[in-house]
Amino acid sequence: MWAAAPLLLLLPLLLLLLLPLARLCRRGAARLEPAGRAVLITGCDSGFGHLLALRLHRLGFTVFAGCLCPGGDGARRLQREAGGAGRLRVLRLDVTRARDVRAAKELVLSHLPERGFWGLVNNAGISTFGETGWLPMETYEKFADVNLLGSIRTTLAFLPLLRKYKGRIVFMSSIIAYFTLGNGIYSMTKAAIEKFCDALRLEMKKFGVQVCIIQPGNYARSTKIQPPLSAEEIWSELSEEEKAVYNKEYVQERANFFNSILSEGSTNGNEVVDAMVDALTSPAPKARYMVAKLKEKALVFVCALFPTVVMDSVLSYALSK
């Protein structure tokens, strides 16, 4: 292994030289024909999942739109915007429930179009704000079940179909997988799903299945994944031990800081949907699609390439402001 170390060091340089050629190949190759291909999307009640379901339907895909509340406003609006019944089917899909995932698979199998099952988009997710000790163990378990295990549960159920039709798997991650600013619980689940994807992507190559990760920046205003939190709401949920350590003024400062970040989020969710569509239709999709502002990409760059002490200094400065 160590004898190959010099060669491994040269690989990044070689890849940088070949990247322009790869881009030319991507532009020249024919894009996928959507007609007759099925895609299942989780988390379609709102946000990116809702937008993607409509976009793929308009492109000609057969869309299975998983909704947590199939009788809710989001699901009804989705059906109305898609023009009623047809190539878009809304189904109940709570990714934390194995029976919902099994039922979704049975529905897909019974309504497969002629070209089969093409794509799985693991989009469902939840977010919240709070320092590590502020959140009870039940919250950590819920987030792991929705954001991490939910994606794994759905992927494992549909892997046989994806291998059969040499399809695509798309995962919703976030730039927050690289760092955290007051929402470590969300960051934790996204970092974990990235590692799951890295393993899956390599393993699926031999079957012709391609795995892509979408890494949005701050799109809180577009998705509504994270509603603003008041200091009073946070304080009321703290344990007596945490209240003995933190005062209300500190909690108010943290709430103001986090809510200000939310207010700066982009409202143009279609930028992220463009990347998701490319991951599903490009003849040569990218392993990762980072859709973020320049300053967000710069922060990721610092976190990924600089020593931890530099990263901690940058983030500590941001938190102090």
Q: Which residues are catalytic?
A: 186
Which one, of 97, 265, 260, 94, lies nearest residue 174 by Cα? 265
Which one, of 47, 48, 311, 294, lies nearest residue 181 by Cα? 311
Which one, of 188, 181, 104, lies nearest residue 146 by Cα? 188
Which one, of 11, 297, 303, lies nearest residue 180 by Cα? 303
- Cα 118 to chain centroid, rounded: 18
- Cα 109 to chain centroid, rounded: 25
The 3-state secondary structure of the chain, one letter per residue: CHHHHHHHHHHHHHHHHHHHHHHHHHHHCCCCCCCCCEEEECCCCCHHHHHHHHHHHHHCCEEEEEECCCCCHHHHHHHHHCCCCCCEEEEECCCCCHHHHHHHHHHHHHCCCCCCEEEEEECCCCCCCCCHHHCCHHHHHHHHHHHHHHHHHHHHHHHHHHHHHCCEEEEECCHHHCCCCCCHHHHHHHHHHHHHHHHHHHHHHHHCCEEEEEEECCCHHHHCCCCCCCHHHHHHHCCHHHHHHCCHHHHHHHHHHHHHHHHCCCCCCHHHHHHHHHHHHCCCCCCEEEECCHHHHHHHHHHHHCCHHHHHHHHHHHHHC
